[in-house]
């Protein structure tokens, strides 16, 4: 018996010993978990009794340490290979990765808001159509010759070809409806993702295994864009400040009245092109005698401030209060009154975080009465998280703008969801605001969008044809905010696939094995990060792979350790299957290779008979 064979037997003995010591298992309590099929009524459910689940009986302290170590990788392999977007750009023959999603419809207590699968069964078909449109966007690369071509040649030594698709598709797990528990609960018009996900988990926690797209009725991160006059009322008074000048324009200002005197004038907009002879004119308000002067910057033609020289007497005022709606920071004033009727209210600060229309209150010390105004709130039609190394439950909150049966509206919804799914997969905007980096030294800098030297962000324009001009910087990029936004560059595609390998969204993908490509370890590597692979793995001759975090392998994907190579499962390392189950693949240790499981390391395998030592 050779020394090498004895060494292998001893290594196997240590491995099985570690299984006995470290893999103490206790049953998982399934009694409170239920699942509801799409074809069952809301009061029908069945226990999940056929799911095989095991929990490794480690101490909480140990589990916390493992998570902490794997959230801050700094190994050479991570920095120089697995952190880089280019590592994950798919090859033309690669398989598609499938990401699992749910559509969740939130309705009011009476079931009358948003979509209704009970009253309108055809709504199910609309959702299927939206899914198909999303997948169509991810399955093609509409290309504008004038606006999507590379801004410059690739960096030296880099070869990147444009791809014909994104190699990502989405699978619909289910369409679910949730009614508010009480008439005042208001989830149907909420953008509180924590509460929405909590309701989903209360009904069926297994739905958190998919990305949940939540349809509610209100905008997200909304702002007050306009205050619309419904009734002009009568007998209102407010001093209106105008800046009269031959060329100047756009200046706006508010008169502040205290005890009948104009105490100050707030400059809201400095305007442009004003001359030093510009004149401040104060009209209305039932008072008289007020005088003010404008201080002009002669070089820029902008007003620097407006100074009150004489406050006058007997002025009345009409103010606008904006309350409620969940947001704050919105301000407006009356900027036009004709014969006592309010004709215009100007919003000079839009505020933020409104999910509902705030109340508009018109306050006056004049004899005015009867005026009615409403706020027009607009905001994002969807929002979500971007991924990270830390675990989280992902969602997309989508406004139900398109529930009137208009197919064009459904396509707009699908386009918006495709954009939000891009965020879930780690893409940022190509226009300024929540944007990709413009730092050319950053590893995530996208030279194939912005040039080797940063040339500027895209211009956000929903309606304009992005393929009409090569100079306006309006593109059809998926993250560019145009109505036909569908294109993604190779680096953007690589970034999405990086997220599906090492970020928390990897838990939503199918666990199929793409055998057309092999993940090769051609130099010594230590993995101090969690990773999910979709291909067979080979540790090449003479090389060492050390797992200090979790490696998820798909079923029917083999790991091969070649001659004189080493696979080491470190103290915190775990080799397991994807999709929250043990691995059902072969671990092949070639003649002369080494396989070591350190104390504390774990090896979770459906069939230990698939550990093959040649």
pLDDT of res. 401: 55
Place of tokens 């997220």: 499
pLDDT of res. 27: 28
Of 359, 375, 391, which one is at a domain's C-terminal end? Answer: 375
Q: Which residue has the higher pLDDT, 405 or 194?
A: 194
pLDDT of res. 8: 42
Instruction: Give me the count of residues in the chain.
Output: 614
Q: Which residue has the higher pLDDT, 398 or 524?
A: 524
Question: Has residue 507 been placed in a domain?
Answer: no
Q: How many domains in the chain?
A: 3
Residue 271: domain span:
225-375
Question: Has residue 82 been placed in a domain?
Answer: no
Question: Has residue 192 been placed in a domain?
Answer: yes
Give the pLDDT band (50/70/90) at residue 380.
Answer: low
* Most confidently modeled range among 5-9, 331-335, 484-488: 331-335
Quote the CA–CA distance of 497 and 486 in Å, as a whole number.
17
DSSP tally for the chain: helices H, then strands E: 8, 34
Do 266 and 370 have their domain in common? Answer: yes
CA-based max dimension of the chain: 113
Return the percentage of the chain with pLDDT > 70, whole number.
82
Would you call 324 exposed, middle or buried from its count of C-beta atoms within 10 A (0-12, 13-18, 19+)?
middle
Do 207 and 232 have their domain in common? Answer: no
Do 264 and 308 have their domain in common? Answer: yes
Query: What are the structure tokens assigned to 173, written together?
Result: 């797990």
Domain of 135, CATH number, reads 3.40.390
Of 499, 531, 557, which one is at a domain's C-terminal end? Answer: 499
DSSP string, 363-425: EESSS-B--EEEEEEEEESEEEPPP-SS----EEEEE-TT-SS-HHHHHHHHHHHHHHHHHHT
Do 485 and 573 have their domain in common? Answer: no
pLDDT of res. 321: 95
Question: Has residue 69 been placed in a domain?
Answer: no
Do 211 and 257 have their domain in common? Answer: no
Chain-wide mean pLDDT for the chain?
Answer: 82
Question: Has residue 41 been placed in a domain?
Answer: no
Do 557 and 434 have their domain in common? Answer: no
Question: Has residue 72 been placed in a domain?
Answer: no
Do 271 and 298 have their domain in common? Answer: yes
Average the pLDDT over each of 118-132, 214-228, 365-379 and give the range with the smallest value.
Answer: 214-228
Do 207 and 241 have their domain in common? Answer: no
User: Taking 70 as the threshold, does the pLDDT of residue 474 lie above it?
Assistant: yes
If you compute the radius of gyration of the chain from its CA atoms, what whole number of angstroms results? 31
Q: Which residue has the higher pLDDT, 171 or 431?
A: 171
Give the pLDDT band (50/70/90) at residue 459.
Answer: confident
pLDDT of res. 600: 92
Do 304 and 411 have their domain in common? Answer: no
Give the pLDDT band (50/70/90) at residue 73.
Answer: very high
> Phi and psi of 19, rounded to 5°?
-65, -40
Do 104 and 215 have their domain in common? Answer: yes
At 33 the three-state DSSP class reads coil
pLDDT of res. 534: 96
Of 499, 522, 551, which one is at a domain's C-terminal end? Answer: 499
pLDDT of res. 381: 66
Across the range 110-139, mean pLDDT stands at 86
Do 604 and 481 have their domain in common? Answer: no
Question: Has residue 521 been placed in a domain?
Answer: yes
**Predicted model pTM:** 0.73
């Amino acid at each position: 018996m050779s020394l090498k064979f004895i060494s292998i037997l001893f290594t196997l003995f240590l491995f099985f010993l570690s299984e006995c010591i470290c893999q103490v298992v206790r049953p998982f309590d399934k009694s409170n978990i239920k699942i509801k099929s799409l074809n069952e009524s809301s009061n029908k459910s069945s226990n999940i009794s056929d799911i095989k689940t095991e929990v490794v009986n480690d101490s909480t302290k140990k589990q916390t340490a493992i998570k902490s170590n794997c959230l801050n990788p700094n190994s050479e392999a991570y920095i120089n290979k697995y952190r880089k977007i280019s590592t994950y750009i798919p090859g033309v023959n690669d398989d598609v990765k499938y990401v699992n999603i749910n559509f969740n419809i939130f309705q009011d207590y009476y079931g009358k808001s948003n979509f209704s699968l009970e009253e309108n069964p055809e709504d199910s078909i609309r959702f299927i159509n939206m899914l198909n449109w999303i997948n169509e966007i991810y399955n093609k690369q509409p290309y504008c010759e004038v606006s999507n071509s590379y801004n410059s040649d690739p960096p030296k030594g880099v070869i990147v070809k444009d791809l014909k698709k994104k190699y990502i598709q989405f699978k619909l797990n289910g369409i679910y409806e949730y009614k508010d528990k009480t008439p005042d609960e208001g989830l149907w018009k909420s953008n509180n993702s924590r509460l929405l996900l909590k309701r989903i988990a209360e009904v069926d926690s297994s739905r958190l295994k998919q990305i949940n797209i939540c349809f509610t009725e209100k905008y997200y991160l909304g702002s007050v864009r306009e205050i619309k006059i419904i009734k002009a009322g009568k007998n209102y008074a407010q001093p209106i400040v105008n800046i009269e000048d031959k060329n100047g324009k756009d200046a706006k200002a508010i008169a502040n009245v205290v005890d009948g005197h104009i105490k100050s004038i707030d400059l809201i907009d400095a305007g442009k092109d004003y001359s030093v002879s510009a004149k401040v004119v104060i009209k209305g308000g039932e008072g008289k005698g007020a005088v003010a002067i404008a201080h002009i910057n002669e070089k820029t033609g902008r007003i620097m401030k407006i100074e009150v020289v004489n406050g006058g007497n007997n002025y009345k005022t009409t103010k606008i209060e904006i309350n409620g709606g969940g947001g704050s920071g919105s301000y407006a004033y009356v900027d036009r009154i004709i014969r006592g009727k309010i004709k215009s209210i100007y919003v000079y600060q839009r505020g933020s975080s409104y999910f509902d229309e705030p109340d508009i209150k018109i306050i006056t010390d004049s004899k005015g009465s009867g005026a009615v105004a409403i706020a027009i709130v607009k905001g994002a039609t969807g929002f979500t998280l971007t991924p990270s190394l830390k675990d989280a439950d992902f969602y997309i909150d989508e406004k139900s703008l398109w529930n009137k049966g208009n197919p064009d509206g459904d396509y707009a919804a699908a386009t918006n969801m495709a954009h939000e799914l891009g965020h879930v997969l780690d893409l940022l905007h190509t226009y300024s605001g929540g944007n990709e980096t413009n730092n050319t030294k950053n590893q995530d800098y996208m030279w194939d969008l912005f040039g080797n030297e940063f040339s500027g962000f895209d211009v956000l324009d929903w309606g304009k044809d992005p393929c009409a001009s090569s100079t306006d910087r309006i593109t059809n990029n998926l993250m560019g905010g145009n109505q036909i936004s569908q294109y993604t560059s190779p680096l953007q595609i690589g970034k999405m696939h990086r997220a599906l390998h090492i970020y928390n969204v990897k838990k939503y993908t199918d666990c199929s094995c793409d055998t057309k490509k092999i993940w090769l370890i051609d130099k010594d590597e230590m993995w101090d990060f969690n990773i999910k692979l979709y291909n067979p793995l080979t540790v090449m001759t003479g090389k060492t792979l050390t797992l200090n975090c979790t490696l998820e392998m798909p079923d029917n994907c083999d790991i091969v350790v070649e001659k004189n190579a080493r696979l080491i499962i470190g103290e915190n390392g775990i080799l397991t299957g994807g999709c929250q189950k043990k691995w059902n693949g072969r671990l092949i240790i070639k003649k002369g290779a080494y396989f070591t499981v350190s104390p504390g390391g774990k090896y979770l395998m459906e069939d230990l008979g698939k550990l093959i030592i040649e």
